[in-house]
Amino acid sequence: GGDNMATSSIFTNVRITDPKKAEALIAAFEASEADMKNHKPENPTGIRYVDDPEEIRKIFAKRST
């Protein structure tokens, strides 16, 4: 079903025989990786993005008491 599509599609074999096309694919992967390094998830209304480890500890400490 549709539940497996995202994970199963990454296991597809790709055969590239043209060196220029191989270089273009590698460049696309590298560009995508560089974009993700600077990416922060969108912040839906009413949700606060927390990336400070100490603040995260405080949040979870409140839940366990």
Confidence tier at 1 by pLDDT (50, 70, 90): very low
Predicted pLDDT of residue 65: 58
Cβ proximity of 50 and 60 under 8 Å: no
Cβ proximity of 49 and 40 under 8 Å: yes
Cβ proximity of 16 and 23 under 8 Å: no
Predicted pLDDT of residue 8: 61
Cβ proximity of 46 and 40 under 8 Å: no
5-64 pLDDT, tens digit per residue, is 555 666 778 889 999 999 999 999 999 888 887 777 676 677 888 899 999 999 888 776
Domains of the chain, residue spans: 13-64
Predicted pLDDT of residue 11: 72
pTM for the full model?
0.42
